[in-house]
Chain A
C-alpha cells in the first residue's frame, strides 16, 4: 500500500493529487524563499486569512446564480479576489499611516478572518449548506478531491514556478538591493507585486490541499530549512523548492493511504521534519556543526596559547590548557614539557613570529584579508612558499639587527 502510494500507482486520481501537492510544495518553497529573504514572511499569513470571506461570498454567489457552488475554480477565484483586497489594505495601511507592516497585517488578518467565519456560519445554516465542505479549506483535505481540481492545482503551480524562474534575476536583485535595482531600470514595485502575486497564487491553490491556516508554514519552513544548507541564493531557491516538493509528496501520500488523517497538518509536519534535520545536521550552519566548530576552535586556542607558554619557558596555570597538553603528550604531569611538546612549541612560536611579521608587512599595504591575520592558523597552509621565504628573510634581518 505504502509502496504503491509512493510510486504513484494508487490510481490516476491519487497520482494526480500527489503530483499536484508536490508541485504546489515546490512553488511554495520558491516563493517563500523571497518572502523570507526580504523579511516578509508574515505577509503570507495575511494573504491566507484574507481568503476566507472571498471563499464564502463566492459560494453564496455561485449558489445565487445557480452554478455548481462546489466548483473549485469559482471558490478559488473568490478567495484570490478577497486575498488581493487584503493585501491592498495592508499596503495602503503601511504606506499611508504610521502603522508598521506587522501591525497592519494583524489588523487586516483578524478582520478578514472574522468576516469569513461569520459568512461560513451563515452558509452552514442555509439549507444544504452543511454539505458544502467549506471547512475542509481551513485545514486542507485531499479526500474526495476531483480530477479536475487536482489538474487545476497542478497546472497553476507549474505556471507560478515558471514565472519565478523567468524573473529570478530581477527578484534576486530587488530583494538584495532595491535602490540599486531601480537605478538599473528594474522596477522594485513590479518585482514586489510579482512575488506577492505568486505568494497569493500559491496560498489560494494550497487552500484545498494544505488549508488556509497552515499554508504559511509551507511557504516559510522550506525556505528557512534551505537557508541552513547554502550561502547562495540560487541554491537556496532550488533546495527550498525541493524541500517543499518532498513535504507535499510525502504528506499527500500518507493522506492517500489513510484518508482520515488531515492532509495539511501532515504536509506541514513533514516539512517540520525537514527543518529539524536541517537545523541539527546541516554542515556549517546546523547546531551540531556549530558546536563542533566551536569546540575545535576552543581547542586550537588553548593549544596555541599553551604551546607558546611552553616555548617561553613559562608555567601553564589554566587547568583546561594543561589537561589538553597532557592528553596530547606535550607535557608531563609535573608540567615539564616532553620532547614532542618542545618541538611543537618551537613550531608554534615560529608560526606566531611569522604571522606577526606578516601582519606588519600587510598592515599598510593593499594585501589585506582579516580572515587570515591570526596566528591560530598554520601559516604554511595560508601563504605561498615565496611569501614565507620573504617573511623568514625579514625575521633573520630583524634578529641580526638586534644583535
Chain B
C-alpha cells in the first residue's frame, strides 16, 4: 500500500501524493460503536495546502472519522499518520475544532478563558500566563472578528460567535493542519464568510484544512478537494471530479431529491 497510487478496497483509485508525509494519511480505518461499524475501511490522504471537504449525509460517520483521526475514539483497525508520524509525535502540528454543540455553553468561562485553552500544552501545569501568551489570544480573537468579546461570558454568545471562539482557540495552537467538524452548521451568513476567509488565509500560509461539511450548495466554492463518505468511502479527489450527480446519489441515496440536485447545478 505505498507509492504514488493507492487502490482502496472499493476499487477506485486514490491519487495520492508521492511520499508518506501527507498532512493526514488514513489507511484502512474502521471505527465502531459496539458491533456495527460507524465508518468502515476508510482510505484517505489529504493533500498538503488544500481546503479539503468531507461530505456525506447525517450519520454517515463524518464526525466519527475526525474523532478517530484525532485519537478521541479508538479504532478497530487502521493506521493514521500526520506528516508521516503518529499523532503522538505530531500533536503540536494538528488542531481540532469540535462541533459547536458538543459542549455545554453554560460552563462558567469567558471567551478569553476558552481561547487560552489552546495554549495549555505549551503552558503546562503551572507556568504563568505571559504577556506574549495574552497577545496570541488577542491576535486569534481579532482574526475571527471577536476582539471586543474577550471578557464576554460564553453563555451569552450567539451560535456564530461560539463557532468563532472555537476557531480562535484552534488558531492559537499555531498548527499546520486544521480539522473542523461542521464549522458552518447553524451560524449566520456573516460568520460563515468570516470563517471561510480565515480558512483561506490559513491556506495562503501553506496550512492544510479539513472541513466536515453538509451544505451542498457551497461545496464547489469552498473546497478544492473532496471526500464523499457514507460509512464507506464513496469518492475522493479534486472537487470537479468528485462532485457529480452519480457520486452524490451514491452517497446520499434517496435522501437527495432531484430538486436539490437542480439547485446546486447538477
Contact = CB atoms under 8 A, between A and B. Distances in A.
Decide whether A and B assemble into one complex.
yes
A170 B120 contact: yes
B110 A232 contact: yes
B102 interface: yes
Given A170-B120, A170-B125, A366-B145, A183 B71 contact: yes
Contacts, number: 86
Contacts of B121: 184-185
A163 B242 CA distance: 53
Contacts of A170: 120, 125
User: Quick one: which of B71, B107, B123, B173 has the most chain A CB within 10 A?
Assistant: B107
A173 B126 contact: no
B114 interface: yes
A314 B245 CA distance: 59
A37 interface: yes
Interface in A173-225: 173, 175-177, 179-186
A183 B72 contact: yes
A192 B194 CA distance: 36
Interface in A36-91: 37
A232 B109 contact: yes
A233 B71 contact: no
B96 A180 contact: yes
A231 B125 CA distance: 22
Given A166-B125, A169-B125, A180-B117, A230 B190 contact: no
Contacts of B194: 366
Interface in A141-188: 166-167, 169-170, 172-173, 175-177, 179-186
Contacts of B118: 184
B67 A179 contact: yes
A354 interface: no
A321 to B, nearest CB: 29
A233 B113 contact: yes
B108 interface: yes
B8 interface: no
Contact of B120 (A186, A230, A236): A186
A179 B114 contact: no
B103 A176 contact: yes
Interface residues of A, number: 31
A185 B191 CA distance: 29
B91 A184 contact: yes
A123 B83 CA distance: 65
A236 B107 CA distance: 11
A87 to B, nearest CB: 23
Contacts of B246: none
A167 to B, nearest CB: 7
Contacts of A260: none
A364 B72 contact: no
Given A173-B117, A183-B96, A231 B103 contact: no
Interface in B101-159: 102-104, 107-110, 113-114, 117-118, 120-121, 123, 125-126, 145, 148-149, 153, 155-156, 158
A371 to B, nearest CB: 7
Nearest to B191: A368
Contacts of B149: 369
A176 B117 CA distance: 10
A322 interface: no
A177 B155 CA distance: 15
B190 A366 contact: yes
Contact of A37 (B108, B114, B188, B191): B108
A370 interface: yes
Given A182-B72, A183-B94, A364-B190, A37 B125 contact: no
A177 B125 contact: no
Contacts of B31: none
Nearest to A234: B113
A263 B161 CA distance: 49
Interface string B15-53: 000000000000000000000000000000000000000
Going nearest first, the 6 A-B pairs with the smallest beta carbon separation are: A183-B96, A231-B153, A183-B70, A179-B72, A177-B103, A233-B108
24 contacts: A166-B125, A169-B123, A169-B125, A176-B107, A176-B109, A177-B98, A177-B117, A179-B72, A179-B96, A179-B98, A180-B117, A180-B169, A182-B70, A182-B71, A183-B71, A184-B91, A227-B108, A231-B153, A232-B108, A233-B107, A233-B109, A365-B190, A366-B193, A368-B158
